[in-house]
A and B are shown apart, each in its own frame.
Chain A
Amino acid sequence: MTKGMTASARTAPARTPAPATPARGGRRRTRPGRLGLHAFLMTVSLAFLAPLLLAVYASLRPYEETAEHGYFSLPRHLSFDYYKQAFSDSGMSKYFVNSLIIAVPGVLLTLFFASFVAFAVSRLKMRGGLILLMVFTAGNLLPQQVIVTPLYVIFTKIDLPYWMSDSMTLYDSYWAVIAVQVAFQVGFCVFVLANFMRTLPLEILEAAVVDGAGVWTQYWRITLPLCRPALAALGTLQFTWMYNDFLWALVFVSDGDKLPITSALNNLRGQFFTDYNLLAAGSVIVALPTVLVFLILQRHFIAGLTLGASKG
């Protein structure tokens, strides 16, 4: 049905804009059941959307108003004051930059390492490749809390020079968060990319080998360009995941100024009093980048998830 998004999951290398043909199924048979089906789907969709709309709505209204009339009431004042407040008083822009400092290198490093491991596992016919694949995949499935304690201890014990970390340790530095993000997410990406690379024709690689291409050329010049759809999909997905992450920064960063935006959201909550409308504005600000990324790159996003599930 909706062309492109799921189709790309199957035949990802097709970079051409999806043809406008309605896929199989189409809209034949208009049974009376259809109406009920639409009613059901519409109800569920609205129910799914409602909390988000509510958050936006609440963020536009002053606290006094919702305190008196509740969130489920007609608006009297609507303004962007809370957004201003979130940005100016709470420094959301600073935290947003922090998130990018973690997520951007995190995604790039993850994709780079994962793609090479996947290449080695799926293309170099190495002994132990399968075991390597299993080690990485299983590592990604471990609950984070299992590894959090020893990591915390290790990070506090590793000293870094001041120019790398103003806390002088790996603990309370971006290095720690990025390293853990990469180590953890490489597992997922290796799994997906290895499956994807297996679907690529071997002939191109063999031809390159005949021409005397080394491992690096085979990987960087020949295999990676063919993986662009998969990399785009994973990049989108990984960015969202790293941006959304909450736990790593919470545990490995103690300086409030270094927190990424998701963890910093708690700062909008007062010690004794919480202005939920401000919190709603903060939530909308935090959610906006991922929602935008999703809406714009939806096709990639969904392909990223389904590439892992339905093997090429």
Chain B
Amino acid sequence: MPHTTARRARRRGPRKFSSRDLAVIGVLLGIPVLLDLTLIWGPTLASIGLSFTSWDGIGDIHWVGVDNYRTLFTDYPPFWPAARNNLLWLAFLGFVATPFGLLLAVLLDKGVRFSRFYQSTLYMPVVLSLAIVGFIAQLVFSRDQGVLNAIIGNTDDPVDWLGDPDLNIWVVLLAAAWRHTGYVMILYLAGLKSVDPSLKEAAALDGANERQTFFRVVLPTLRPVNVIVGVITVIEALRAFDIVYAINHGRNGLELLSVLVTDNIIGEASRIGFGSAIAVVLLTVSLGFIVTYLVQELRGEKKR
């Protein structure tokens, strides 16, 4: 029996497992799969289902069709500001923090001295909890004692960085970018290391300057990293929650879809059906990106 299994193990195809093997596989594969289905995918489907009901968590579940969505889009004032803030978040991380992280990675990849120090420092914020980032932001941006106002020196007419609803989202985005940049940097740095140096040399021989080499030759070979960074950026933007919650529970200009979901379920109102509808909006947006990503992965898998 060992011989036959050995031969068959080489190529794909059904392989005979002993009953003990089957038990091991059944249990050790079964538990995580069960966990994933009951705690992740089941609730996802349940959210979709509940979003069409007016359930408050206690009484009977009443089907209300698309009422929740209609209310959400037309008659729920915080929704559009929240959606706008999520989009801003995405744009800011995508167009400011991510390119900045890439820039830092490229600079560090040139082999500068002290690069280890730079890397550690730039990466440090990533290990902090987003809630901590929110608290630290208050030290810097607080109106009366904050460092920023002290540096600018406008003590007579202090700017309320976190209290002004037109301003605070930008301040929070800055704090979020502080953390995101290091993350992106480290991913690109690892990617850049794996680029075949002969590619760059060949491009240089062909007369490409540094910029052309990077954008036309190096960046395209970083495609897998680009995809991951893109996914992380989108997901971070949609998941954003902790920072604003730590600052002011996501009110007064800092509304986010995630905050609205949480407010509707753990608040006193307990509008579970309605909260689910907001969650489904989040889900729909993120699914678009998740599917794109998986298709990419699948292609890579096939090539293997």
Using a CB–CB distance below 8 Å, which chain A residues touch chain B? 1-2, 5-7, 9-10, 22-27, 34, 37-38, 40-42, 44-45, 48-49, 51-52, 54-55, 58, 66-67, 70-73, 113-114, 116-117, 120, 124-125, 127, 130, 132, 134-139, 141-154, 179-180, 182-184, 186-187, 190, 198, 205-206, 209-212, 214-216, 219, 240, 243-247, 250-251, 262-263, 265-266, 276, 279-280, 282-283, 286-287, 290-291, 293-295, 298, 301-302, 305-306, 308-311
Stretch binding the partner chain, chosen from B66-74, B90-98, B104-112, B165-173? B104-112
Contact with A along B288-300 (1 / 0, CB 8 A): 0110011001101
- Which residues of chain B are near A311, meaning CB under 8 Å? 224, 300
**Bound form: Cα–Cα A198–B301 in Å:** 11
**Bound form: Cα–Cα A125–B17 in Å:** 12
Taking a contact as CB atoms under 8 Å apart, the answer to whether A54 and B140 are in contact is yes
* 11 examples of A-B residue contacts, CB within 8 angstroms: A1-B116, A45-B121, A67-B145, A71-B146, A117-B33, A147-B43, A205-B9, A210-B6, A212-B2, A305-B190, A308-B228
Asked if B147 lies at the interface with its beta carbon under 8 angstroms from chain A, I say: yes
Taking a contact as CB atoms under 8 Å apart, the answer to whether B112 and A37 are in contact is yes
Asked if B246 lies at the interface with its beta carbon under 8 angstroms from chain A, I say: yes
Taking a contact as CB atoms under 8 Å apart, the answer to whether A137 and B145 are in contact is no
Taking a contact as CB atoms under 8 Å apart, the answer to whether B241 and A247 are in contact is yes
- Select one of A113, A266, A302, A309 contacting B35, CB under 8 A: A113
With A2-B116, A149-B47, A246-B129 known as contacts, the answer to whether A142 contacts B12 (CB < 8 A) is no
Taking a contact as CB atoms under 8 Å apart, the answer to whether B107 and A45 are in contact is no
Taking a contact as CB atoms under 8 Å apart, the answer to whether B178 and A147 are in contact is no
Taking a contact as CB atoms under 8 Å apart, the answer to whether B124 and A134 are in contact is no
Taking a contact as CB atoms under 8 Å apart, the answer to whether A41 and B112 are in contact is yes
- Which residues of chain B are near A246, meaning CB under 8 Å? 129-131, 241-242, 245-246
**Bound form: Cα–Cα A189–B170 in Å:** 33
Q: A276-B145, A290-B127 are in contact. List 14 more A-B contacts (CB 8 A).
A: A1-B108, A9-B190, A37-B112, A41-B118, A45-B121, A51-B137, A120-B25, A125-B9, A125-B15, A143-B286, A150-B43, A280-B139, A294-B123, A309-B187
Taking a contact as CB atoms under 8 Å apart, the answer to whether A150 and B47 are in contact is yes
With A71-B146, A283-B135 known as contacts, the answer to whether A117 contacts B186 (CB < 8 A) is no
- Which residues of chain A are near B301, meaning CB under 8 Å? 130
- Which residues of chain A are near B258, meaning CB under 8 Å? 143-145
With A2-B115, A58-B139, A251-B266 known as contacts, the answer to whether A149 contacts B261 (CB < 8 A) is yes
- Which residues of chain B are near A152, meaning CB under 8 Å? 265-266
Contact with A along B36-78 (1 / 0, CB 8 A): 1011111110110010000001000000000000000000000
Asked if B254 lies at the interface with its beta carbon under 8 angstroms from chain A, I say: no
**Bound form: Cα–Cα A154–B183 in Å:** 35
Taking a contact as CB atoms under 8 Å apart, the answer to whether A145 and B261 are in contact is yes
Report the minimal beta-carbon distance from B102 to chain A, rounded to whole angstroms. 13
**Bound form: Cα–Cα A2–B299 in Å:** 33
Taking a contact as CB atoms under 8 Å apart, the answer to whether A71 and B111 are in contact is no
Taking a contact as CB atoms under 8 Å apart, the answer to whether B57 and A40 are in contact is no
**Bound form: Cα–Cα A214–B18 in Å:** 8
Closest 4 CB pairs of A and B: A25-B111, A72-B150, A244-B129, A306-B190
**Bound form: Cα–Cα A27–B15 in Å:** 54
- Which residues of chain A are near B125, meaning CB under 8 Å? 48, 51-52
- Select one of B13, B121, B235, B265 contacting A148, CB under 8 A: B265
- Select one of B12, B13, B122, B272 contacting A44, CB under 8 A: B122
Count B interface residues, CB 8 Å. Answer: 125
Asked if B275 lies at the interface with its beta carbon under 8 angstroms from chain A, I say: yes
- Which residues of chain A are near B206, meaning CB under 8 Å? none
- Which residues of chain B are near A148, meaning CB under 8 Å? 43, 261-262, 265, 279
Residue among A147, A198, A280 with max Cβ neighbours from chain B (10 Å): A147
**Bound form: Cα–Cα A209–B4 in Å:** 10
Taking a contact as CB atoms under 8 Å apart, the answer to whether B136 and A216 are in contact is no
**Bound form: Cα–Cα A265–B129 in Å:** 11
Taking a contact as CB atoms under 8 Å apart, the answer to whether B224 and A309 are in contact is yes
**Bound form: Cα–Cα A22–B111 in Å:** 9
Report the minimal beta-carbon distance from B180 to chain A, rounded to whole angstroms. 12
With A6-B190, A70-B150 known as contacts, the answer to whether A137 contacts B120 (CB < 8 A) is no
With A149-B261, A279-B138, A280-B135 known as contacts, the answer to whether A49 contacts B121 (CB < 8 A) is yes
Report the minimal beta-carbon distance from B28 to chain A, rounded to whole angstroms. 4
**Bound form: Cα–Cα A26–B104 in Å:** 17
Asked if B85 lies at the interface with its beta carbon under 8 angstroms from chain A, I say: no
**Bound form: Cα–Cα A146–B5 in Å:** 44
**Bound form: Cα–Cα A66–B140 in Å:** 13
Asked if B276 lies at the interface with its beta carbon under 8 angstroms from chain A, I say: yes
Report the minimal beta-carbon distance from A138 to chain B, rounded to whole angstroms. 5
Taking a contact as CB atoms under 8 Å apart, the answer to whether B279 and A149 are in contact is yes
Taking a contact as CB atoms under 8 Å apart, the answer to whether A302 and B32 are in contact is no
Q: Which residue of B lies closest to A125 (CB)?
A: B12
- Which residues of chain B are near A150, meaning CB under 8 Å? 42-43, 46-47, 50, 276
Taking a contact as CB atoms under 8 Å apart, the answer to whether B225 and A309 are in contact is yes
Taking a contact as CB atoms under 8 Å apart, the answer to whether B118 and A141 are in contact is no
Asked if B218 lies at the interface with its beta carbon under 8 angstroms from chain A, I say: no
Asked if B253 lies at the interface with its beta carbon under 8 angstroms from chain A, I say: no
Taking a contact as CB atoms under 8 Å apart, the answer to whether A145 and B241 are in contact is yes
* CB under 8 Å from chain A, chain B span 224-280: 224-225, 228-229, 231, 235, 238-239, 241-242, 245-246, 257-258, 261-262, 265-266, 272, 275-276, 278-280
